[in-house]
């Protein structure tokens, strides 16, 4: 198989020299078993009958390029959608935990909040954090809605 590949490669190289007229390809095997191909007939060389070259016409690549580009874009869109959905999932979990702690504005008082103002500050902080997380979720949902559906 290797010799056959070598033979065809050599034949193509020999045929590619347009300045030389090739009347045939000759194969010579020396006493060590080394095979040499040439376009010049020499002593102990035998002419090799080559099959005709098959020329395949080129393919119109415009449609192929468009399909490849579309597949790449779809892959990017899918990845972006997955990342946004992951962020939405994480934000939703954090928001649920905050709401559970907030308890509609009446969270449990912690032992470190003997001072009532500390409690009120924490309630206010929780309320602001819930608002912030809800705004994040809305922004993420808008981003997801603006992304085109992959084809």
Task: Determine, yes or no, domain membership for 54.
Answer: no
pTM of the model: 0.56
**Statement to judge: residues 122 and 94 lie in one domain:** yes
Name the token pair of 49: 């009958």
Domain housing 102: 62-146
Least confident of 23-32, 52-61, 66-75, 118-127: 52-61
35 to 16, 22, 25, 30: CA distances (angstroms)? 21, 19, 13, 7
Residue 57 lies in a domain: no
Same domain, 75 and 34: no
Q: How many domains in the chain? A: 2
CA–CA distances in Å: residue 77 to residues 69, 84, 116: 12, 11, 50
Same domain, 66 and 139: yes
Check whether residue 37 and residue 104 sit in a common domain: no
Q: Cβ neighbours of residue 88 under 8 Å, at least 6 residues apart?
A: 137, 140, 141, 144
- Together in a domain, 75 and 142: yes
**Quick check: is 151 in a domain?**
no
In angstroms, the CA 57 to CA 128 distance is 68
pLDDT at 23 over 80: no
Q: Is residue 126 part of a domain?
A: yes
pLDDT tens digits, residue range 63-82? 888 888 899 999 999 999 99
Residue 19 or residue 51, greater confidence = 51
């Amino acid at each position: 198989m290797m010799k056959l590949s070598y033979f065809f490669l050599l034949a193509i190289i020999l045929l590619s020299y347009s300045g030389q007229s090739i009347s045939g390809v000759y194969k010579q095997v020396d006493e060590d078993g080394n095979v040499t191909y040439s376009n010049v007939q020499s002593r102990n060389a035998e002419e090799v009958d080559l099959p005709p070259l098959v020329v395949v016409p080129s393919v119109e690549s415009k449609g192929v390029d468009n399909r490849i580009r579309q597949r790449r874009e779809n892959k990017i869109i899918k990845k972006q959608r997955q990342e946004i959905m992951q962020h939405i999932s994480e934000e939703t979990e954090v928001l649920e935990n905050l709401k559970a702690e907030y308890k509609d504005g009446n969270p449990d008082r912690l032992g470190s909040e003997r001072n009532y103002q500390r409690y009120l500050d924490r309630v206010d902080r929780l309320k602001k954090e819930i608002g912030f997380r809800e705004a994040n979720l809305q922004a993420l949902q808008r981003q997801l809605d603006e992304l085109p559906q992959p084809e």
